[in-house]
Amino acid sequence: MKRKLYTVYSFAKLNTRRFFRDRLAIFFAVIFPLIFLFVFGGIFSKNNGTSFKVAVINQSNTQIASTIAGSINSSKIFKVDKTITDQAGANSKMSKNQLDATIIFPADFGQENGKLPKGNIQVIYSTNSEQAGTAIVSVLNGQLQAINSKFVTEATPFTVSGTLSTNKTLTAFDYTFSGLLGFSIIGLGIFGPINVFPELKKQGILRRFHTTPLRVWQYFVATMISQAIVGLVAISVLFIAAITVFHLKVTGNYFEIGLYIILSIITILGIGLALGGWAKNERQAAPLSNIIVFPMIFLSGTFFPTFLMPMWLQKVSQFLPLTPVINGIRLLTTEGYHLINLGPQLLALGAWIIVIYFIAFKVFRWE
User: CA–CA separation, 27 vs 16, rounded Å?
Assistant: 15
Is pLDDT larger for residue 75 or for residue 160? Answer: 75
Long-range contacts of 318-321 (CB under 8 A, 24+ apart): 320/295, 320/296, 321/267, 321/268, 321/271, 321/296, 321/348, 321/349, 321/352, 321/356
Is pLDDT larger for residue 207 or for residue 171? Answer: 207
Q: How many other CB atoms are found less than 10 A from the CB of residue 313?
A: 12
Count of residues making up the chain: 367
User: CA–CA separation, 55 vs 113, rounded Å?
Assistant: 27
All domains of the chain in start order, with CATH: 2-45+171-363 (no CATH), 52-151 (3.40.1710.10)
pLDDT, mean over the chain: 81
Best CA proximity match to 305, nearest among 178, 205, 212: 178
- pLDDT of residue 164 exceeding 60: no
Is pLDDT larger for residue 114 or for residue 283? Answer: 283
The enclosing H or E element of 119 equals none
Q: What is the CA radius of gyration of the chain?
A: 29
User: Which pLDDT does position 135 carry in this prediction?
Assistant: 82
User: Which pLDDT does position 44 carry in this prediction?
Assistant: 64
- pLDDT of residue 185 exceeding 60: yes
Q: What is the pLDDT of residues 206-260, one digit of tens each?
A: 778 777 777 888 888 888 888 889 889 889 999 998 888 888 888 889 999 999 9
- pLDDT of residue 193 exceeding 70: yes
Average pLDDT of the segment spanning 86-100 = 82
The answer to whether the Cα torsion of 170, 173, 179, 184 is positive or negative is negative
Range with the largest mean pLDDT of 91-95, 108-112, 219-223, 347-351: 347-351
Average pLDDT of the segment spanning 113-123 = 79
User: CA–CA separation, 206 vs 14, rounded Å?
Assistant: 14
- pLDDT of residue 196 exceeding 80: no
Percent of the chain residues past pLDDT 90, beyond the cut: 15
User: Which pLDDT does position 114 carry in this prediction?
Assistant: 64
Average pLDDT of the segment spanning 289-298 = 84
Q: Torsions phi, psi of 101, nearest 5?
A: -165, 165
Mean pLDDT lowest among 78-87, 257-266, 281-290: 281-290
User: Which pLDDT does position 142 carry in this prediction?
Assistant: 78
- pLDDT of residue 161 exceeding 50: no
**pTM for this entry:** 0.69
Long-range contacts of 116-120 (CB under 8 A, 24+ apart): 116/151, 116/152, 117/62, 117/64, 117/151, 119/60, 119/64, 119/65
What end-to-end distance do the CA atoms of the chain give, in Å? 27
pLDDT band at 166 (very low <50, low <70, confident <90, very high): very low
User: Which pLDDT does position 163 carry in this prediction?
Assistant: 43
User: Which pLDDT does position 20 carry in this prediction?
Assistant: 78
* Cβ within 8 Å of residue 126, ≥6 positions away: 94, 95, 133
Q: What is the pLDDT of residues 320-358, one digit of tens each?
A: 999 999 999 988 988 888 999 999 999 999 999 999 999
Range with the largest mean pLDDT of 11-15, 20-24, 46-50, 98-102: 98-102
367 near 299, Cβ under 8 Å? no
User: CA–CA separation, 137 vs 118, rounded Å?
Assistant: 17
Decide: helix, strand or coil at residue 101: strand
